[in-house]
Each structure stands twice: as structure tokens, then as C-alpha cells.
Chain A
Amino acid sequence: MTRHAGAAIDASRKLRFTFDGRAYEGVAGDTLASALLANGVRIVGRSFKYHRPRGLWGAWVDKPNAIMEVSLKGSELPNCLATTTTLEDGMEARAVNAWPNARRDIKGGLDLFSRFLTAGFYYKTFIWPDWHLFEPSIRKMAGLGSVSLEHLDDYITDQSHDQCDLLVIGGGPAGLAAARESAEAGRDVVLVDDQELIGGSAYQAPDIEEQYPEDWVTSQRAAIETAGGRILSRTTAYGVYDHQLVALIETRAFGQTPRLTRMRARHALLATGAIDRPVTLPGNDTPGVMSLTAAREYFHRYGVLAGGCAALISNQTDAQTALAPLQAAGLEIQALDPADPDLKIAGARQTTGVTLRDRHIPADLVLTSAGRTPMVHLWRHAGGKLTWSDPLQAFLPDNQLGWMQAIGAANGTFDTDTTLAEARARATGATPPADQPEPIQPLWPRPGAKGRQWIDFQHDVTLKDVELAARENYASVEHLKRYTTLGMASDQGKTSNMAGLAAMATLQGKEIPQVGTTTFRPPFVPVPLAAWAGQHQRQLYHPVKRLALEPQHRDAQAALCEYGGWLRPGWYGAGEADTRIAHEARTARATAGLLDGSPLGKIEVMGPDATAFVNFMFYNTMATLKPGQIRYGFLLTEGGIVYDDGVVSCLGENHFLISCSSSHVDGVRGMLETWRQDGNDPDQIFVHDLTMHWATLTVTGPQARDIVETLGLEADLSSDALPHMRFATSTWNETPMRIARVSFSGDLSFELSLRSSMAPALWDHLMGETKKIGGTLLGIEAMSVLRAEKGYIMVGKDTDGETMPHDLGFTIPRAKKTAPFVGDRSLHTETANDPHRKQLVGLTVPDGAPPLATGAHVVSDAPRRSLGYVTSSYLSPNLDRPVALGLVENGAARLGEEVTIWHDETLSKATITAPCAFDPEGDRLHA
């Protein structure tokens, strides 16, 4: 086929590509669609439901059917729109939803069953004997492209933020004129256009302001950039979000991720243009039926004449003039009366022309337009309202938004001179001259007419489907959409919404504006999810916090696992995890263990009101803590639920250290900062989170004191001078150090805290001494076993969203603490007083039985219902038997009782015991 001159193409540069396995040639500047059209390919895809052959309707985003899987150089992307995919040499395209190809899709036979596949068919058919029998096959047939299982390693989107004073959306004549006017007036202007060659509809005009369109566009561009304006091409504004944020997506080479920019615009001009509406008449989906404007675009931009002989069915008053250049290039045009009710488009896989009663008008191209629909999507995202224009038979922006105005075709202004005047006026904040649009004859679907007339070309919704929806009372425009799926395909109803709601209006005897439109939502065009993921993937998705001693742990062959947002040693050494963990747990009780406890929270609270404040925050009384003392306590929610546990140390008068659990530091800090300002005087209370500055190393076990003594500290570490729940301060290598007797293992335990930069030196020393006496490095897994042997809880594991402190055996503050504290009143509600509340217990199993499954339920016998569940369960190497903790109704009163356990459809037995299974007297703890 001959190529005419086209503004976007360079006919001297040939590009090779294939479509459905056949080789073709295009030129630089082509889209896949224009290249296919130039090669005479008429069937570019199959419709979603009936697999009907479809051709090219539009030339840009208003294309419902040319959806293709495209691969190039190892990148394979599903569901590419042929009209917006720039052709590159070597591209292989396949029509989706068609096998073996678009021309000969075997599922075209489905069309014969169309009577059974009308709107909502899946609510009414394929039900007996069992819907699930049909579901898999129907699901397989649904959908469009298939996703390649190859992972594109570098497919990460660059996301950025930007700001401007004026954002001009659309680089056609209106947008270019406005951008130039405002840039030259000194404003900070950004112009975006979604095409490689900006200019929009400019190329369809023979001239603009006495220049060739190409030259006019080029001179506007140059003027804008000289004046400091920025032009972003291949950039689509796909959505408007709260507070005047416009989302921009820049398309790049095939296989490259797009670039996302979140643009905050003080003002915006919507110059997004308008698209043709299809005419609703029988056979209107036949390949060869094309939008009037698209035919002009294919000719002026890409140099392709879409046919040799065209029938024209349009109510646009300037249609013949508009097509004059195509006529001059050899397209024969026969105009028909668009309102004639007997018009039918003839042809099956390819149009043969139009029939009108007993006449047949031959044509290989049928150009139709029932009027132009302004692209008001972004206006609606921004919350702008629409008004109905009777002369234009279209919805227009009411221009009452303040920060955004519409210009040009988006505003219903189609005449070039009027558009330019309007654009320049709006650019400087002036009121544009009033426009008297040329009225068009309404051309809407006629319900009740014979023959299949198509409304939604992607989802195969016909006029009869709209009639069905009305009959079944799905008459509201939002119900019409969901019941028929009209407007729900990937083109989001760009070419179908108006006809659908107009048909419903006629059926309901209403005016079109009474029916209204459905909600417009971003994105305006399909956007890959990767665009929103941006950098948030893999290691940067939810980065773990790293220990200062991570290199040391790696050297010691630690298995590093995620615990509470930190990467920490689960266990050390090569070999089976269970064996290593059991060894660590046994050795720690036999001699000693060394654990990196640095993630433990270290939040200091100081100021004149610190004491009262800490006393208010905690369940336990903290006001009586003296310097040097440490107390275990709970932080509750106002609902009385245990939020975190930890220890509070009194560092001095009005100076406390809250050592909350590692996974809750941010939450506890947030709680403290909130309450400090809410009902308290924040000028008297200061919260310093020093968790990251301090490292904490724990030495635990019968020989822990011996190890710590080797540090040569001045502090007296004897059990009289430094009993359990006390701390001392000292220096080591000129570094201040805190030595606290706090134990999570239940054995004699010292927590040594000093600044992180000195942690490696301390670790090396302690590791050496620990190894010397036959002790072990201790990971989190082994520590979890040790604390379970003692019945010590882990909040969130042995407590749930209902657990209150008295359920855990901590009853005194609830009964005795008179000063208010967070959650206090909630501990005396009907629920809190319920005698059947779940309480913390220990659970043992019969001799030889395996450990209980965590999460297994304790059940009553008849009727069988859950009485609680297992929260922690391990094989204890120190007791040589399983130990477990759980929450069980009224558990504290049931010690010694045998209960039934249900797990995975199996029943077994367990006995309720006190939570502490090891050294209940605490002799080892107080050594």
C-alpha cells in the first residue's frame, strides 16, 4: 500500500515486525496499528465474549479492540494497545483472546451461542447441576492476554515528585497556545502530551494561523521552551487526586518501565480533546468501520489511507470538509443520511459496505461519528461537575472548579480560531469570548430496532443487553454498567458510555442529563502496577533494621532471621537448626550464653513531670521506683488490653528508662509522645528514644557473673550489691556502661549496655570469655525456649487482642493502684470481670507424646467448642520433655485438670499446669 506524507513518520526508515506469525513492514513513527493498517490488515483482534472479528475503530486511546501481546528482545508484555504502542524493529505481536490467530479464531463459534450469553448470563445459566463444573472452563475462556512467567529483573519504575504553577494537560492547538501564552507571561509552566509527536489534532488542519501544522507546532514548542516552560512528551496525565495532585506517567521504550511523576499543580488547564462516538446501528462492529477522526489521524499523522471507497455516516456538520484531503489523496466518499432508520452495515469478517432497504452501497471503509465526546475524565477526578450541552449533545465541564479550567475540544470548542482565543484568554486568567457552537442533530441508539447493534465493543454489550437491563430494573446508570459490564473493559467505556446511557434514557423516557454518567476513576489509561510499586520491592520493600554487630554474627555463622523488624541471629553454626537450638538452650543453662539484645527499646523519659507521667502510662506503680531499681510492667491500651511489656529503670529523680520490647519500640514511642501532649503538659515531659545509640549484650547462666567479672569493672557485681532487678553504672575502656540484672532466661543474667560503636570490642571480649568456660552464643530461638520453660510471655504470642494483665496473673494494680493509668477503667467492665476469661496457663502432655502444635485448641467435650489455644510450644532440652503455654478459659482455677486438645482433625490429651515449668522457686534467677 502506498504511504502518503505523514507528520509522525519517516518513510525512509523501514521497520520489520510480525503479527500473528506473519511478517510485515512498517516505518519509523508508526504505531503497531498504523503499520497494520498500512499493510491492509483488517482484523486486528477478537472481542472478549463472542470472539467476533474486530478492526481498527480509533487511532489512539479510544481503541477498544486492538489488544496484543507484544514481545521484543526478551521482553514480553501482555495487553498492549496497538494504537498507542510505538513500532520498533523486531516486534512480534499477537492478538490476545484469539487462537490460532485473529483471522481464524476457533472460539468465533461462541458467537453462535450468543442467545445464551447475554448480559448477566452467569447469574442465570450454567448453574445446574453445579456451577463449579462450568467455572474453570469459563474462567479459562475469559480474560485477554496471558502473562509471561519470565521475570523482568530491572523492571523498576522511577518515581518522582514535582511542582509547577500551571500544568497544561494536552499538547494540541489549545494546550500549545495556552502554554506559550503563560510561559511568556513568566509563569512556571509544564505542558504534558501523551504522544511522541506533540500537536494533537493540529495535523488534521490544512494550516494554523497561516502556517503548516508541523511548523506551527514547532514554533510553539520553541517559544515555550525559550520562555522557560517545560514540555513532557509521551507523558499521560492519568489521574487527578486530592489537593491538586496530578499523576503523570511517561512511556519509554518497549520493555522499559514507565516513569511516574506526582505533580502538584497550583493551576491546571485541561486540553485533553474529544473523541468520536460510534453510531449505533446493525453491523456497527464489523472490521472496516472506523471513527471519522481516526481516519483523519491515520492519514495526516501516519500517511495511511484506511480504505479505497468509504461510506460516511455522521451528524458532524464539517465532516465533508474535514475529509477533503483524504478525498484528494484518492479516497472515494459517499455520504449517507445518518438518521435513516434502515441503515445497516454489511459484511462479516470485513465490511462490504452499507445496505439501505433494497440498495447496497459498496465500500471497504465505513466512517462514522455520532458526535464528539469531550474527554472530561480528569475534570471528574478533580470533583468538577458536568453540564449538558444540547447543541453539542455532550457533557461539558462547568468550569467552576477554581484551579482547573477546560479549553478546546475538551470544553466543547471545536473551531480552531475560537480554540486559540479561548486558550490564550484562560492562560492569562481572562474570560474567554462566549462560544456559539454549531448544533448537531442528535444521533442516539433506537431501542427496539432489529439486528445486533453494538454498544461496548470490548465487552460485547449490545443494545438488546441495555434493553434487558432496563426490563430487569437495572436502570440506574451504575447498575446498567455492572449488570451488562458496559464500560468495564480496559477502555473503560471511552467509546461506549454515552451510547449506553443515551439508550437507557430513551428506554426510561428520561433526558440524558437525568440519567447521568457513572463515576470516573483513575487511571485514564491502563498503568502497570510496577509504576506504583516503584522502589518498594525486594530488599527495599520493608527494609529490616540491621544490628551494629551483624558482621560479627555473620562471622559466627549465625542464621539471620527477621524478628520484630530486625535481622537477628536465630541460632549459630552449621547443621540442623533444631539440633543447634537445643544445644544452645542446654548450654546456656549449664554454663553460660551470650545474646545480642541491642534491639531492646531504650526510651528515656525525663522532666519535672516524668515520674507522674510514667506512673500514668504503666499498669504497675512506677512512682515508687528509686534510682537504681528496675520494675517489670505492662503498657495497656485504653481498652485495657496488654500492648507491651518491658522493664522500667529509675535512672535518677525524674529520669526513667523504658526498656520496651524490640518489636514495639516505634509504637511505644508513639504512645508516649501522644499521651505526653494529651491531658499532660509536654513542656514538663521529654521523651528521648535512644534505642539505636545503645547496644545491649546479655550474659546469662550460672557462670554469667564470672564472665562479667573479667571486664574489670569498678561496680560490685555480687548478689548483695547488685540483686535481681537492680542496675549499676560503670565504665569500661573509658566508655560509660550500664549493668542491669534483668532476666528473660530465668537464670542469673546481666544486660550490659554501652554505646554501639564500642559493641564490637565488648562482644569480642565476652565471646572469648564465654567460649573459654564452655558457654555458647545464644540466638533468639534458644532464648524463646528458655523463657517458655519459665512461663515468661511474649506479648502478641502469648497474649492476643483481648488479654488483660489480670489474665496473666498480674492482679494487684487492678485492685490496688489508685492513681489513674491508661486503660484503668476498662479493667472493671463486665467483660473484664467475666469469670470465664481466658487466662495464661502451662500445658503438659502424657509421657512420650510429641509437643503440642502452636495454635491447637483446648476444647470442651460436649458440645465441642474452643476453650482457648496453645500459644507457645517447644521440646525443652532442659526438662527433656515438651513444654507449652496457652490461654484457656478460667485456666488459673483448673490446675491439674486434664483437657482435650483438637488440632488438624485429631484429638489428644494435655494437662493444665502453672506456666512456670523450670525452677519455680527462682533460686537460679536470684543467684
Chain B
Amino acid sequence: MQRFPCPFCGLRDEREFHFVGELGKTRPDTSGPVSDEDWAHYLHMHRNEKGCVREVWMHTTCAELFAMERDSVTMEVLGTTQLRKDAS
């Protein structure tokens, strides 16, 4: 049972989390033309590195999306980055 640090709630049981996707994937702007290659890359291609990976996760209980760096081999959590703006 791993534990992940939600930027708002703190360290929590892994069962409260859901993997969303790789960090850094930008949705192509579909208000204009998008090539088949670009759209296929967005849908299906993943870096999937061995070692340090940068991912977007959701803490499902508070529904917050955040970025987490992990080692995909040792399972060590290397760091998290808050994606939400702080409350004004």
C-alpha cells in the first residue's frame, strides 16, 4: 500500500488516488485542423520511461489534479507539484 502526497490533503493511502495521464501532454486545438498523426500521438503515445516519470494524478476524495514525479522502478515518490492556484 503506497502513500501519495496530495498537495492539499497531505499524505494519503494510495487507494484514494487515480492515475490521470502523463504530465506535459497538451490537447491539440480542435477548433482548427489537427493532423491524424498529432491526434493519434495525443491519444495513444506515452513516454513510459524506466525510472523518473512525471505524471498527473487525481486525489479522488478531494478531486484535486496534481503533478507527481515518481521512480517507476523503485516506486519512490520524488516530488509533487500543485497544479491548482492557491485560494485567493
Contacts and interface: CB of A to CB of B under 8 A. Distances in A.
Interface residues of A, number: 25
Nearest to B65: A677
Nearest to B58: A674
B31 A241 contact: no
Nearest to A640: B43
Interface in B60-77: 60, 63-65, 74-75, 77
A670 B1 contact: no
B39 A829 contact: yes
Contacts of B85: 683
A328 B28 CA distance: 85
A923 interface: no
Contact of A245 (B1, B27, B29): B1
Given A242-B75, A243-B75, A670-B60, A818 B36 contact: no
A324 interface: no
Contacts of A638: 42-43
Report, nearest first, the 7 A-B pairs whose CB atoms are least far apart.
A673-B63, A242-B75, A677-B65, A820-B30, A242-B2, A825-B39, A824-B30
A245 B2 CA distance: 8
Given A243-B3, A829-B39, A820 B31 contact: yes
Contacts, number: 51
B50 interface: no
Given A241-B1, A639-B43, A818-B31, 11 more contacts: A243-B1, A243-B77, A638-B43, A673-B63, A674-B58, A674-B65, A678-B27, A682-B84, A819-B31, A824-B30, A826-B39
A830 interface: yes
6 contacts: A243-B77, A245-B1, A670-B60, A677-B64, A825-B34, A826-B39
Contacts of B84: 677, 682
B78 interface: no
B2 A243 contact: yes
Given A242-B2, A825-B39, A829-B36, A673 B58 contact: yes
Nearest to B13: A161
A528 interface: no
A712 interface: no
Given A639-B43, A674-B58, A683-B85, A825 B75 contact: no
Given A383-B74, A819-B31, A820-B30, A674 B39 contact: no
Interface in B1-53: 1-3, 18, 20, 27-31, 34, 36, 39, 42-43
B39 to A, nearest CB: 5
A677 B29 CA distance: 17
- Main secondary structure on B side of the interface with A: loop
A829 B36 CA distance: 7
A679 B39 CA distance: 16
B22 to A, nearest CB: 12
Contacts of A682: 84
Interface string A186-213: 0000000000000000000000000000
A682 B64 CA distance: 10
B1 A262 contact: yes
A245 B30 CA distance: 45
Contacts of B18: 670
A825 B2 contact: no
Interface in A818-843: 818-820, 824-826, 829-830
